[in-house]
Amino acid sequence: MSLRKKIILSIILLLVAGLIAYGLYYIFTSTGKIGEPTPPSGEVLPGGQLPGSGAGPATTTGVTQGPGGELLPVSGIIASTSPSFYKPVSVRQVISETATYPSLNSGGDFRYYNANDGKFYRVMPDGGIKMLSDQVFFNAQKVTWAKNQNEAVIEYPDSSKIIYNFDTNKQVTLPKHWQDFSFSADGSQVAAKSIGLDPSNRWLVTIDNDGSGAKLIEPMGENADKVTVSWSPSQQVVAFSQTGEPQGGERREVLFIGLNGENFKSAIVEGSGFQPQWSTTGKKLLYSVHSSRSDFKPELWLVDAYGENIGSNRRLLKLNTWADKCTFSNDDTAFCAVPRDLPSGAGMARDIAAYNYDDLYKIDLKTGLKSPIPLNDNFNITNISYNAGTKKIIFTDLNKTGVFESQL
């Protein structure tokens, strides 16, 4: 080969190499670093952190349920902006004393138990505090409130249980082997698990709040631990049972249990640790589960839960939190406290997140828009409620005494 041809060939090779180098430079500078996928535009995780590298939990893609339980992709849920964009919302301590087993009733009264004196109190809409009763309830171990009446199931360390009506000061004694109570929406009945020594004598039951009308609803047998008693606001459903047909992998079929043997549709959930939260009318259900796809952190989902729509429109909300850290203001709006740095496996061992601060989000369940609500202090939020009359969020803190409220 002549010298001239060698020079021309060398020039051509240098030009090709230069074009390849430029192409690689353009690709890498326009799409981000290798191994770090570009997050959806505008999406911000709690604490202002962007999604990390690697496969990670599967909370990056929402899904909905099609016919026969088929999973279909839907668009991601986008945060409106970074939490730091907003002015922090002021939080006021309503009660400084120890307040356990709190509950907001439909009239706007916040009720709680003070273990120091064994009495129950309520915080009035004007901020005043009043005893619900002069009766002393020493060592109350668990309290389940009715939503629309001032009555509750009170449990004690010796397994004694009563229904107590604070308006009439009357009480009804319940069997010691009953557990996991839930009031009907109108407060007239209570559902529970009757756990007999023999599995053949374990039933889902209901009883009127005056102690009459006990009724066997469904036998539970060996599956009592798979039943979640949770009476819907519509009073159509009294419990959930994770005893549906096998789905393969970590999926579960959750059955909706009615009072009269109704053949309701079911819902498919993507994991274990099912924890439900009804919307205000009971037409929708917020729930959390955990699985290997979420790094065993709790994931929040939404699904239709009424009539023929049960199990439809199932969506992943892309928030790693538990359903009991959420509250509804109506069927289309929820407020959720989301841990900032949830460790792996928290869905299986919640205690490891005990000292994790929360970020508060308002979620538009129609559009999927998540709006941060920065608070002016750090909180680990528990027992969260929304007061529709005053438009306030009311909550307790896992590591602080008292009750707190924030005007939205």
Integer-rounded Cα Rg, in Å, for the chain is 26
Tokens for 232? 């819907």
**Cα 273 from chain centre:** 11
Residue with token string 């273990």: 115
CATH class of 63-407: mainly beta
Q: How high is the pLDDT of residue 125?
A: 72
- Phi/psi of residue 154, nearest 5 degrees: -115, 130
Query: What distance in Å separates the CA atoms of residue 351 and residue 70, rounded to the nearest whole number?
Result: 34
Q: How high is the pLDDT of residue 67?
A: 33
Classify residue 220 as exposed, middle or buried by CB count within 10 Å of its CB (0-12, 13-18, 19+): buried
Query: What distance in Å separates the CA atoms of residue 390 and residue 373, rounded to the nearest whole number?
Result: 17
Tell which residue, 72, 64, 76, 59, has the closest CA to residue 311.
Answer: 64
* 3 state SS for 203-226: EEEEEECCCCCCEEEEECHHHHHH
- Contacts with 180 (C-beta within 8 Å, 6 or more apart), sequence order: 192, 193, 227, 228, 229
Q: How high is the pLDDT of residue 35?
A: 29
Q: How high is the pLDDT of residue 81?
A: 46
What distances in angstroms separate CA 86 from CA 233, 362, 393, one per listed residue? 34, 13, 17
Across the 408 residues of the chain, what is the mean pLDDT of every consecutive 10-residue run? 56 57 43 30 31 33 32 41 67 92 89 95 84 95 94 97 96 97 97 96 97 96 97 96 92 96 94 97 97 96 96 96 97 97 94 93 94 95 93 94 92
Contact 299, 59 (CB under 8 A): yes
- Contacts with 83 (C-beta within 8 Å, 6 or more apart), sequence order: 44, 46, 47, 48, 359, 372, 374
